[in-house]
Amino acid sequence: MKRFSFLLITFTVIPILALAETNEGSSSVGRYNIVATNEGLYFLDTATGSLWLKRGHGAWIQIESPVTWKSNQIKQSNKPVTLTLPQEGVTIPMIQRERRKVPGSSGTLSVQLGDITAGQVFVEVVDINGNYLATRTSLKNNEFLKFKLDGEDVYLQIFDMVNNLIGEDICKVRLSFEKPNKKSKKEKPEKAIEKQSNKS
């Protein structure tokens, strides 16, 4: 790690200094930056990020480039996103600025809240692949948004929003496949869940 940090700083700083004055330990030839160290000569291809080391009369050695090694470790995922909900939907208690995985999604779907302030909160829905199914939307108490998942409408409703003078502001988030009623009573989602648990 120290070696990568040193090389990254070297290839970032030295070309800038070379513009102002000649540096005995480095030079620039076209798209290549060359740096002399006690290990040998490092050649960085600025177009591709490829890094080579030449030690004395030895062979050329290609090493992991400090320009590309971080991005190479980022793997693009394309995992399937699923959501299974009971008929009455599912309710999640949340605090402001919290991100929580949606029950029934096998961890593939998350809800992100912003600050709860002035009787409203910003809401986002993101999947495990980093795709935003619902972009930043401001919702007031009992308001809802709609997003698509595999061609099916999913509704997200905010209710029981509370601004506490001391401590975190809270609300409840309800997801369902049925369009919610803005004038529905606060207790309705909770009663639906209780009925389901009693049956089981």
Tens-of-pLDDT digits for all 200 residues of the chain? 545 555 544 554 444 334 333 344 556 556 677 877 777 777 777 666 677 777 776 667 777 655 554 444 445 568 899 999 999 999 999 999 999 999 999 999 999 999 999 899 999 999 999 999 999 999 999 999 999 999 999 999 999 999 888 888 999 999 999 999 876 544 444 444 343 444 44
- The pLDDT of residue 200 is 42
The parent domain of residue 118 ranges over 90-180
- The pLDDT of residue 198 is 46
The answer as to whether 100 is a domain residue is: yes
Q: Are 107 and 128 within 8 A, CB to CB?
A: yes
The answer as to whether 191 is a domain residue is: no
Number of domains in the chain: 2
Residues 115 and 175 in one domain: yes
Residues 96 and 66 in one domain: no
User: pTM of this prediction?
Assistant: 0.55
Tens-place pLDDT, residues 142-195: 999 999 999 999 999 999 999 888 888 999 999 999 999 876 544 444 444 343
- The pLDDT of residue 61 is 72
Residues 170 and 122 in one domain: yes
Residues 94 and 66 in one domain: no
For the chain, give the percent of residues with pLDDT over 90: 46
Q: How many helices (H) and strands (E) does the chain have?
A: 3, 13
The answer as to whether 42 is a domain residue is: yes
The answer as to whether 19 is a domain residue is: yes
> How far is the CA of 25 from the CAs of 33, 34, 51, 81, 150, in angstroms?
11, 8, 17, 53, 58
How far apart, in whole angstroms, are the C-alpha atoms of residue 176 and residue 159?
A: 14
Q: Apex CA 82: angle with CA 76 and CA 84, to 5°? A: 160
The answer as to whether 82 is a domain residue is: no
**Which of 72, 100, 125 is the C-terminal boundary of a domain?**
72
How far apart, in whole angstroms, are the C-alpha atoms of residue 38 and residue 61?
A: 15
The answer as to whether 60 is a domain residue is: yes
- The pLDDT of residue 16 is 38
Q: Are 110 and 147 within 8 A, CB to CB?
A: no
Residues 111 and 175 in one domain: yes
The answer as to whether 6 is a domain residue is: yes
